[in-house]
Chains A and B, each alone.
Chain A
């Protein structure tokens, strides 16, 4: 029974990590795209640099959902290496959404810091 127990606990930790990442992944994508319109592989590069995603497959459904939600749009651009590529950028609505997310992120960080730094003296 023991190894199984360990295994399931480990999976739970992984799951929590994944949930946390998932929660802020959209924010990260919007942040990256707010700087520059980018191709998927560039977005992936950035996200990998900051160890936000493990596999690329995660990104495609997210991008499609954000695009269909009106936060992103893409333009086709010719590429030297092959077929034309989709370059994603923020829409006006996406920019507004990003600003809102920024505020709530700050609040979250503040909340975490407050909890962390508070000496529980009661």
Chain B
């Protein structure tokens, strides 16, 4: 009685005796190794396999037997020839160690024979010697748990893992021993080595041979280190994969859904970055450019992460892949992304600069009038002068902070109102001397841009203030209507006071006061909470 197997060579099914199978397998491996240095190895092996399959089919027909025996395999080998019989002059690498003949390489492939999509699951199953169904269930579970993000990993493996096309590759895919138990075994072996060495060490100790003791200790140390290195490598691979995958997850979440969502994730917490894609795009008035830069940023960030995953999988699993192609194409896309980001950045800045220059050169009313004095202040100024109080108190509008709750984005914030986003920014508050004997408040708006567009942008800037008795209330922010885009809008409030009048700067305006000149050269932040009087020399502190 003999054990028989069923094999598939180039799409045809054959029954084969076990001894014949082993012989054929080693032969194909030998051929594959022989052509291993040849860049066309895959194609040559496929041709050879298809020819072998044909020869077997012929044999079955001629001899009317349907099982492949060792005799047939020997016959085939004599027809096809052993690598040493080849006269292709490419077999100069005969100095290869013969011992490597018996070692079957174990590599990860995609399994084209049992696949639902790309054969990644069944290939992984074959590699780890775990049932494909178990892997598929696990992937499905992860699909549900991660909300579909496992798909990224699947596609990644689909791209980098080669398909097991030839019989030799399918043998490599299964390997001699499954990898999980391989890793386990090798670790067990190392541990056993350590134990043995330690035992020997104890024995030698009884002989009290000092020299041997030291060398024994050395061997123990080395095998111990080996075990540690092996475990570390596997852990490092897992760590790389984890970092890469979670990085991509977070990146996609942030870019697509904004920062609010990821604050729920345990490893980001509240300290997560305070921006998202819709906010970034607000920088750019042209939506096409906004999309282009978003995609470029996505690629710029995602490619290093994919590289980390790739490195991690390479460490843990062994598979053949076209490293050079993968690295070069990845690097190319990455560099293109950087170029796009830089060039778009430059074009945006140059727009800014152009706009500014235009303001400086042309003074005609129509073109690029980005500075605008608010004329509706007359009545307000009148009431300011009519107040009988000698001291003007300057405060922030009460409860205005809750009104402007938003997210920080440098000095600029974003507020959502009825689902619409509005930019808000801090104004700059200054105090000057007025040569005329009256109080005056001027509001100056400016932004970068050209011509009518800049004018339009200025109209979108809204700012509120009010006067109640002797208190001037200033809003902490001015707002810019959605759709205007950020063009470095600036709002400057200047309070002009005549000689003899005094002001009290309340603590809460410390954020908005901006470079107020005074006789004692007091720093802005220290000017608040004090009384100031306009004198002939300028603003000076009233000391109690």
Q: Give the CA-CA distance A64 to B83 in the complex, in Å.
A: 17
Q: List residues of chain B with CB within 8 A of the CB of A64.
A: 40, 43-44, 47
Q: How far is the CB of A11 from chain B (nearest CB, A)?
A: 12
Residues of B within 8 A of A82 (CB): 12, 53-54, 57
Residues 13-67 (chain A) with a chain B CB within 8 angstroms: 18-19, 21-22, 25, 40-41, 53-58, 60-65
Q: Size range of the interface on A? A: 20 to 34
Contact with B along A81-100 (1 / 0, CB 8 A): 11101100000000000000
B376 within 8 A of partner (CB):
no
What residues on B are CB-neighbors of A40 within 8 Å? 47, 51
Within 8 A of A (CB), among B70-93: 78-83, 85-90
B44 touches A83 (CB 8 A): no
Q: A41-B51, A82-B12, A83-B53 are in contact. Are A54 and B89 (CB under 8 A)?
A: no
A68 and B39 CA atoms in complex are apart in Å by 11
The docked-state distance in angstroms from the alpha carbon of A68 to that of B79 is 25
Question: B44 to A18, Cβ gap below 8 A?
Answer: no
- Please give the distance in Å from B84's CB to the nearest CB on chain A: 10
Report Cα–Cα, A81/B54, bound state, in Å: 8
Could you tell me the distance in whole angstroms from the C-beta of B65 to the nearest C-beta in chain A?
17
CB of B11 closer than 8 Å to a CB of A? yes
Q: Is B48 an interface residue (CB 8 A)?
A: yes
Secondary structure type dominating chain A contacts: helix
Contact with A along B150-163 (1 / 0, CB 8 A): 00000000000000
A-B pairs with beta carbons under 8 A, tally: 74
Residue contact A55 to B81, C-beta cutoff 8 Å: yes
CB of A58 within 8 A of CB of B44, answer no
A37 to chain B, nearest CB (A): 16
Is A61 in contact with B38, judged by CB distance below 8 angstroms? yes
B57 touches A60 (CB 8 A): no
B85 touches A83 (CB 8 A): no
- Cα–Cα distance between A86 and B81 once the two chains are bound (Å): 21
A55 touches B12 (CB 8 A): no
A81 touches B57 (CB 8 A): yes
Report 14 cross-chain contacts, Cβ distance below 8 Å, ordered by A residue. A18-B87, A55-B78, A57-B48, A57-B85, A58-B81, A58-B85, A61-B35, A61-B38, A61-B86, A62-B88, A64-B44, A82-B12, A83-B53, A83-B54
